[in-house]
Structure 1
């Protein structure tokens, strides 16, 4: 699945060929498999991602999905995510838990895109 383009993922999600939970779990598995060597993620949010994927699958099943609904995404650690550590990759902010969502995160949530975590 990781070789699919975003367009192909969207087509498969909307056609019911795959679910957002399956796609999200696939990417979480890849993160577990490779991130120790790559060190791309500052924080991985598997519980949040699966919860968001389930909500995306419900939207898609109801015919309410948008173009990017259900496609997992990661974002830079500079964007606050409510209840998730946001350090901006800085030791000074190492224990900061964001009390709100940044605008970009709000838009990702509205679009139904599961958040895998935060990257360097």
Structure 2
């Protein structure tokens, strides 16, 4: 949370972050943590650099998986053909594949990225 807020510190628009009140105890490897951090970093970087958005939002939900939604009200990707055109999108897709997760891209009043990453509860 601190790192996301620090990244968006100089963002000229409105940034909100929603986290669950309680996060269950989960086994998350250092590699998985790194991938999650880099996914969020890339998504926020894209908002700042490319979106033209004046509103950005991150929503985190945790149960047997981490569901991270990153949304903005910017210009989007410009259609289906651009969903994998940039290195950032390709890198995010590769990270999700390494984590055996899912990556969804929706264009509606901006851009919505949804990352679903399976997690293991502690024994």
Whether the TM-score (by the shorter chain) exceeds 0.5 is: no
Give the structure with the higher percent strand.
2
Q: Which has the higher contact order (CA 8 A, sep 6+)?
A: 1
- TM-score, L = length of structure 1: 0.34
